[in-house]
Amino acid sequence: MLSAMLRVVVIGARRRRQGLGGFVARWFARSGASVVGVVGRTEASAAEAAGALADDGIDAAPFDAVERAIAATAPDVIAVCSPIECHADHLAIAADHGLHCLAEKPLLPVSGSAEGGAAAAEAVVDRFTAAGRHLALITQWPEALGAFAALHPGALDGPVERFEMRLSPMGTGTTMTLDSASHPLSLLLALCGGGRVDRVRAEFGPALDDLVLRYRWVHRSGAVDVVNRFRTHPAPPRPAGFAINGHAAAREIELPDYRQSLVDAGRRVPLADPLERLVARFVRDVESGEPIDRDGIVDGMRGLEALVIATAAGEREGKQA
């Protein structure tokens, strides 16, 4: 157990489009950690992010390079909220310095034309495991299962046979799966444990902005029939929800306070911000020495890779039609 307040550096704390870095930094601070630095692509972007956090009383120094931030602030944790193409470098730096890491999903890029991303992710996980450092992904939807159980009492008591999730990514085509599919996979891992994706079918609408993924999640105790529905939505709040064995829960967000609820058929249950709960859980896991969920991260990346490859094939077919 750590004897002092966790020191955190956040990479990518400016919300240029849909980044979570600023929210992650605030939830770290509210969970009792000290956000000591933020890293941006340039000095100006880092200073902008630090200024926004200062408005919330967070005194984070700005840096334009991760190595300089680590040397100057001596953090315990790196939060990787940078664009996906930067994840490999930032994860390697965190591992090189023996730091705990909370990383935006997916852990690493995956290709729609060849396997390899999942194997690379497994090697990254093993580096953190060997060093005794915690690594987790920002896949916060499992933190909504408590509210789901309150909305549908008893619905989680039996085996999961059918699962559906609806999300609204910004992109089109294969980008939708890369951006969004880690979320339903994280819920399947939470509900059923480790497993693999099987029998994937990708069905695009004519504009490639409407995608249905159908597959089976095969796990130790059985299999789940899964449907993911991704439809492009340009701006927040984005429609989202999921259903387990036909019991549905749509997420509603009330602005400007960003109060969240799960709703179905006139019933409503408050939903504590899942990202807040995830960050707080990460802090507790680091402080208590909780080991990495190695199999969960690796199975999730293997599943994502299978879905991205199938989606890319469906996108090519859609463009040729």
How much of the chain is in helix, strand and coil states, percent to nearest 5?
40, 25, 35
Per-residue b/e over 206-219, b at no fewer than 16 CB within 10 Å? eebbebebbbbbeb
Judge whether residue 1 has pLDDT over 80.
Answer: no
Would you state the pLDDT for residue 112? 83
Higher confidence at residue 163 or residue 15?
Answer: 163
- Look at strands 240-244 and 247-254 and give their pairing: antiparallel
Domain ranges for the chain: 7-104, 141-279+305-320
User: How large is the average pLDDT for residues 150-162?
Assistant: 98
User: How large is the average pLDDT for residues 119-144?
Assistant: 96
Contact, 136 vs 294, CB < 8 A? Answer: no
Contact, 252 vs 260, CB < 8 A? Answer: yes
Would you state the pLDDT for residue 40? 94
Higher confidence at residue 206 or residue 130?
Answer: 130
Tell me the C-alpha distance between 264 and 244, whole Å: 13
Would you state the pLDDT for residue 238? 87
Would you state the pLDDT for residue 2? 54
Would you state the pLDDT for residue 264? 98
User: How large is the average pLDDT for residues 264-268?
Assistant: 97
Q: State in words which class domain 7-104 has.
A: alpha beta
Would you state the pLDDT for residue 15? 62
Instruction: Tell if the pTM clears 0.85, that is, is over it.
Output: yes
Tell me the C-alpha distance between 261 and 151, whole Å: 10
User: How large is the average pLDDT for residues 70-78?
Assistant: 98
**216, amino acid identity:** R
Judge whether residue 256 has pLDDT over 90.
Answer: no
User: How large is the average pLDDT for residues 201-222?
Assistant: 95
Contact, 305 vs 110, CB < 8 A? Answer: yes
Would you state the pLDDT for residue 257? 84
Q: Please report which confidence band the pLDDT of residue 115 belongs to, taking 50, 70 and 90 as the band edges.
A: confident
Would you state the pLDDT for residue 3? 44
Would you state the pLDDT for residue 100? 98
Q: Look at phi and psi of residue 45 and say left if phi exceeds 0, alpha if psi is from -120 to 50, else beta.
A: alpha
Picking from 152-156, 195-199, 257-261, which range would have the lowest pLDDT averaged per residue?
257-261
User: How large is the average pLDDT for residues 16-25?
Assistant: 80
User: How large is the average pLDDT for residues 18-37?
Assistant: 92
Would you state the pLDDT for residue 56? 92
CATH 3.40.50 fits 141-279+305-320, yes or no: no
